[in-house]
Amino acid sequence: MADPNHILASPGADEWLRKKIDIVELEIYDWKQKTWNHLKDRRFFLGMNNYYWELDPTNPWSATATQRYEKRLGVREKSRVSERDALVYVATDGQVVGMAWQKYGGTKIMKSCWCSMNPQYGGKV
């Protein structure tokens, strides 16, 4: 079975559903020093397998994410950085078998969409 949290490079057309994914920063507990360490400038999302996956720092919306930390004692979310639309692939048996970022997932509306809904403006916004 495929990894249910693998960020795929290109989604197919039919069996994909849109899902909101919180992008968060984490803190990891240092048991020796008894302090929480903030993982600054690193972004994660919680996968379906209860692990936090780290986004690629140079190309977060198309590069493959890396499984890093299990959601358990000693790992906590420090802050919610943003929210993205992801496409979740669901197999015919109902199992989630993959994920991909939706192209323009953080964009609310594109100019071409706006113009197609408002032809009285002559295609100019």
pLDDT at residue 87, as a whole number:
80
Tell me the per-residue pLDDT of 7-52, one tens digit each, with 9 for 90 and over.
544 444 456 678 888 999 999 999 999 999 999 999 999 987 889 9
pLDDT at residue 39, as a whole number:
95
Report how far Cα 90 is from the mean position of its chain's Cα atoms. 16
pTM (predicted TM-score): 0.66
Distance CA 49, CA 52 (A): 9
> Could you give the C-alpha distances from 38 to 71, 77, 98, in angstroms and in order?
15, 9, 29
- Arithmetic mean of pLDDT over the chain: 76
Strongest mean pLDDT among 5-9, 61-65, 94-98, 110-114: 61-65
